[in-house]
Structure formats: C-alpha cells, structure tokens
Structure 1
Amino acid sequence: MQESRLKNYLLLHLVVFIWGFTAILGALITIDAIPLVFFRMTLAVVFIALYFIFKKKSFKVDKKGLTKFLFTGIIIATHWIFFFKAIKVSNVSVALVTMSTAAFFTSLIEPIFFKRKIKALEILLGLLVILGLYIIFNFESEYKLGIIYALISSFLGSLFSVLNGLFIKKYDANRISFYQLLFGTLFVTIYLLVNNQFSISFFDLKQSDWIYLFILSSVCTAYAFIISVQVMKYLSPYTVIITNNLEPIYAIILALFIFGDKEKMNSEFYLGATIVLGVVLLNGILKNKSAIKQKAKLRLKPKK
C-alpha cells in the first residue's frame, strides 16, 4: 500500500510538472493563440477517443449532458485562447502568476452555484492576491495586456472548474473531458471558418511547431488528464491541492532555464509573485483543514 501511494505521489508531481510545461510549449510554438488552441484541442480529442476505443469505454451521454458540455467546451476553449495570448504578449512568469488568481475567482463563483455563503477569509485572501497583482501591474507596465488576458483566462478557468464540480456528481470524468474538448474544437473551427482563416498555409507549420503541438496535445492534455483522475483514487485531497499549487513555481523555474533573460523580472515582480503564490498555498492548506474537520464531525455524529 505504501509503495502504491509513493508511486501515485510521484505520478502526481509528474502531472503538475507537465501542466507547468504547457506554458513553456505555448511560448515555444510560433503560431498565434487561436490556431494553437485549435490544433491542441483537435489532437487531444483524437488521443482521448483512441483511449476510449482501446479501453472499450462508452461514449454515450444524455442530451442534457451534451448541452452542458457544449457550453463548458466553449468556456475552456476561450480560457486557453486568452491563456496563450497572455504568454504571447508577455511571458510565462507573468501569465502564470496572474493565473494563480483562480482561487480568488473560485471563492466568488463557487457560492453562487453551490448555494453557500461567501466566506470572509476567502475575501481577505482574495484582497491579498489583488495586492500582489497591483505590485506586479504597477512595476511591470509593459506586461499590462498580458496581465489582463491572464485575468480573463483565470476567471474563465475558475468558472469551468466550478461547473465541472457540479457535472462530476453525475457524469464520468473521462466523458466530460472528451465532449468538452470536442465541442471546444468545434467552436474554434466555426470561428476560423467564419473568419476565412483556413487555408493551405494554416496547416503548413514548422516542423518544430508540429512536434511541440504533438507533445502539448498528447502528453500535456490527454495523458495528464487521464493520470490526474487515476491518482485521485490513492491520494488525499490535501496532497493533491498542495501539489497542484506548485504548477506555477515549476513553470517559472523551467522558463528561467529555457528562456533566460526574457523571463528575468525586477524585484517588485518577485515580491508580488511571492504574495500571490503564498496566498494560493495558504488557501489550499486552510481549505483542506476545513474539509478534514467537517469529515471528523460527520464521523462523530451519532447514527439515528
């Protein structure tokens, strides 16, 4: 059992490292954000479909589910478009630190859908995140557009995650992912068709871009998703939450090694980033402690 936990803990760290590498690939790929998302989602749908066929999984979903996945598929596609736009107009470090505001947005969105009160502590932590962003925004003015794009992406990502928190109660995680990616692909395809952007040159990419897109769609999207679901069977929510919060840290360190001077920022950026990332980690710890206390109360509650 202990060996199994260690194996899955290492797999979780691998997945978080892979997710951090997504931003690096976004910076390395030379095409614009919208074509990038089109290729990423299209290839990922193919890979997950092959996984379904290999594992003999059912594609069947009811009509209500398909409508929900259509809506959230559009959200995830738009979320990725703004994420990659943020990287293209700024850099990996700025985009990922700003994306860490997702916890704050989630604290505002989640009570609406789950019908609970907004907690004062979550608002306080959210204000600290805003303080960190203000410091970055104030001293890194050349990256303002990237910060705005990343904030939009962060909000859409939070909305997408909260909605999936509702869907997972009824639907299989693999099917949710497959149909959301499929509908996201159709949404981007329609946009490209309406704007007459499909041509021979659209598919005439550099060899390095095809290689990076293959890695992005197979390893960073299809594979990472499947493994992330698998490890949840063996690891506690605390372990998963804390480890996931290491994603921007992994990515920023990778970016410094790969892109060098382009990723080096002034001291105020690192002060703001420390505040934002510190709040994200603290939020994960506090949320987990609250969940543990709640479970303990339920266990101690006498049965009728």
Structure 2
Amino acid sequence: MLLSARNRNLLILHFTVLIWGFTGVLGGLISISALHLVWYRVLLAALALLVYFRITKKSVVVSQRDILKFMGVGVIVGLHWVLFFHSIKISTVSVTLVTLSSVTLFTAVLEPIINRSKISFADVLIGLVIIFGIYLIFKFEFQYLWGIIFGLLCAFCASIFSILNARMVKRSSPTIITFYEMIGAFFGVSVIMLLKGEFTDEMILSNSDWMYLILLGVVCTAIAYVLGVAVMKELSAFTVALTTNMEPVYGIILAVLIFGKKEEMSTGFYLGAIVVLGAVFVYPYIKTKIESRNKQLVNRKLH
C-alpha cells in the first residue's frame, strides 16, 4: 500500500530525528577531544553542502552583510557543539541529551527579550517544570555536575542561534544559512584551537574515527538537515516541533543499546528525565491551545 505524502514525510522526519539522536552516540564513540571533533564535523558538513550545491546547481552568492551575519551565528553553533560533545565526554550521552532539553526553558526567557515581545505565561510555566526536572537530575547524579553545567551552557547557545535562525530564515534559504554557519563555526573553532595550541598530533584520526566523523559530518549534519527542511513543505510546524522532541528519547535508547551499563542511571535521574521530557512534549500542545483560544477571543471582540 502506497503511503500518502504526509505519512511519507512523517516517516522521513522520524528517521531524521533518529539520526540527530545518534549524534550524541557518535560523540561518545569518537576518541578525539570535543574541540577537534567539532572542527572536523563542521569542515565535513560544509564540504558536503558545497557538493550538494554543485549537484543541484544552486547559487551560494549572498550579500557581504548576510555572510558576516550567518558566519557570526555559526560561531555560536560551533560553541554549542563543542559544549555538547564535551558534556558527553565528561558525563554520559543520557545526561547531556536530557539537560539539552532545557533549550525550551532558555528560549521561553530569551525569545521575548531578543524579539521585544510579550512573555508567555505558558512558556514560564513549562520553564519552571523543566527547572524542577533538572534539579532532580542534579540531586541524584551529582557526580555528573560539570556534564550538566556544560549541557546547560550548550542549551543556552542552542536557544540563541535558534532564535536568530528563526528570524534569518524568513529572508534567506535555510540551506544557504547552514552552509555559511558551518564555515563560521569552522573559523571560530579554528581560532580557539590556534589560541590553545590544539593543532597537534592528537588530531590524527584512527580508521574508526574517520568512519564515525564522516557519518557525523555528512549524514547527521548535512543530509539530515536537508531532509529536515524538505519535510516542512508537507508537515505543520506543530507536527515538526512535537516529533523533534523525540531526539533525546531516541538518543538515550541508542546510547543504552550501544554503551550498556555506562548509560545506566539512578531512579532519580529517570524521574527527572521524565519531568523534563514530559514538559517538552506537552509544551507544543499547550502553546497551540493557548494561541487558538487567544485567536477566538480576538475574533469575538471584533464581531
């Protein structure tokens, strides 16, 4: 039986989110430092996107102002990934992915400030629930304190570049934005490595590292991004947001299957994870309901 366009795109979206969830696992498998890992990742992603543009014969020409803007945001993206992989290397994939879910909390606070809009009561409420969930994880998994802190910093960066991307994508191609952001991330990480003297023999990769990095840079970054953008033509923003929330769930399941006992946590961790992920899942539904009710109230006043 042939799938409808919507169901086919929904399957593609779930597959894409599964690939994103696998990113954390690859971070745990690759032996080099987080800084070196991200340097290779963004370089491979930029090259893969360049090949994509060559094949599709799409132009990458934009104004100098836009290039600087996109690359500037790319520096934040690069920092986000360095913090993400460093968190994984000093804690676990599960701890990092759950902590990263706090991006909803940071967005609830930062988006109204950056866009100069009204703070949503639903956003604040969901944010408080997420704080409680992260508190439980802190309480029961205190040995991963620094992993949680770096995970929170990673979520903070993710919130900033997500808000900025949401503004830029209204005027520019998402794929073009990503291409220049990867270049910006590459230069940003390169500068940090130069200052720290990180261009050393430690960057030499094993055969397995090369394989994992190609998967990370090409499949999990470039291809997954193109697929993620493509499905938005058929699926609603609500469906995409809700499905994307499966990323930490898929990631934790994959991590447990691959790393086994290393990913086993206390009951308190799973309780905190359920609170955080539950809040993240419920958030789009509550947000949509409130926005729908507000529109109805406005329409009643007009009539």
TM-score grouping bracket, smaller chain normalisation = over 0.9
Q: Which residue number in structure 2 is paired with residue 144 of structure 1?
A: 145
CA distance in 1: counterparts of 2:256 and 2:296, whole angstroms: 43
Deviation at 1:292, TM superposition (A): 5.0
- Greater than 6 Å deviation, 4+ residue runs: 294-302
Report Cα offsets for 1:75-127 as digits up to 9, x if no partner: 00000000000000000110000000000100111112222111222112111
Q: Do the aligned residues in 2 keep the contact of 1:83 with 1:95 (CA within 8 Å)?
A: yes
Q: In 2 relative to 1, CA 196–291 (structure 1 residues): closer, same or farther, beyond 3 Å?
A: same
Structure 1 stretch 109-118 or stretch 162-171: which is displaced more? Answer: 109-118
In the alignment, which residue of structure 2 is the partner of 1:75? 76
Conserved 8 A contact 1:93-1:255 = yes
Distance 1:14 1:291, change over 3 A: farther
CA distance in 1: counterparts of 2:154 and 2:204, whole angstroms: 28
How has the CA–CA distance of structure 1 residues 295 and 225 changed in structure 2, closer, same or farther, with 3 Å as cutoff? farther
CA displacement at 1:63 relative to structure 2? 2.0
Range that drifts further, 107-116 or 7-16: 107-116
Equivalent-residue separation in structure 1 for 2:300 and 2:79 (angstroms): 45
Contact 2:134 2:276 in 1 (8 A): yes
Superposition pairs of residues 188-267 of structure 1, within 5 angstroms:
188-199=189-200, 201-267=201-267
Q: In structure 1, give the amino acid aligned to 2:219.
A: V
Alignment of 1:139-178 (within 5 A): 139-178=140-179
Measure the CA separation in 1 of the matches of 2:191 and 2:131: 36
- Distance between the aligned counterparts of 2:286 and 2:244, measured in 1? 15
Residue aligning to 1:3? 4
* 1:27 aligned partner: 28
| Structure 1: distance between partners of 2:298 and 2:57 | 38
Q: Is the 8 A contact 1:237 1:288 kept in 2?
A: no
Distance in 1 between residues matched to 2:188 and 2:122, nearest whole Å: 38
Question: Which structure 2 residue ranges, 5 or more long, are not aligned?
Answer: none
SS of match in other structure, 1:232: helix
Seen in structure 2, the aligned counterparts of structure 1 residues 64 and 138 have a Cα distance that, compared at 3 Å, is same
The CA deviation at 1:70 is 2.2
Match of 1:282 in 2: 282
Q: 1:8: how far off? A: 0.6
Task: Provide the C-alpha distance between the structure 2 equivalents of 1:223 and 1:295, rounded to a whole number of angstroms.
Answer: 37
Aligned residue pairs total 301
- The TM-score with structure 1 as length reference comes to 0.94
Match of 1:15 in 2: 16
- Cα deviation 1:244-275 (Å, max 9, x = unaligned): 00110111111111111111111111111000
Matches of 2:54 and 2:298 in 1, distance apart? 41
State the Cα distance separating 1:37 from its structure 2 match: 0.2
Where does residue 43 of structure 1 map in the other structure?
A: 44
Q: Residue 265 of structure 2: SS of its match in structure 1?
A: coil
CA RMSD of aligned residues (A): 1.9
Pair 223,290 (structure 1): closer, same or farther in 2 beyond 3 Å: farther
Distance 2:291 2:233 in 1: 17
* Alpha carbons 1:92, 1:255 under 8 Å: kept: yes
Q: 1:62 to 1:290 in 2, by over 3 A?
A: farther
The 1:116/1:46 distance shift into structure 2, 3 A limit, reads same
Which segment is superposed worse, 91-100 or 185-194? 185-194
Q: Match of 2:233, SS?
A: coil
- What is the alpha-carbon distance in structure 2 between the residues aligned to residue 259 and residue 148 of structure 1? 22
Q: Secondary structure at the match of 2:32?
A: coil
Structure 1 residue ranges without an equivalent (≥5): none
Give, as a single letter, the amino acid of the residue that structure 2 aligns with 1:40: R
Contact 2:32/2:203 (8 A) holds in 1: no
Distance 1:290 1:241 in 2: 16
Counterpart contact for 2:36–2:203, Cα < 8 Å: no
Q: What is the letter of the counterpart of residue 209 of structure 1?
A: D
The residue number in structure 2 matching 1:120 is: 121
- Tell me the distance in 2 between the aligned counterparts of 1:203 and 1:148: 26
* 1-structure distance, mates of 2:114, 2:292: 22
Q: Is the 8 A contact 2:137 2:272 kept in 1?
A: yes
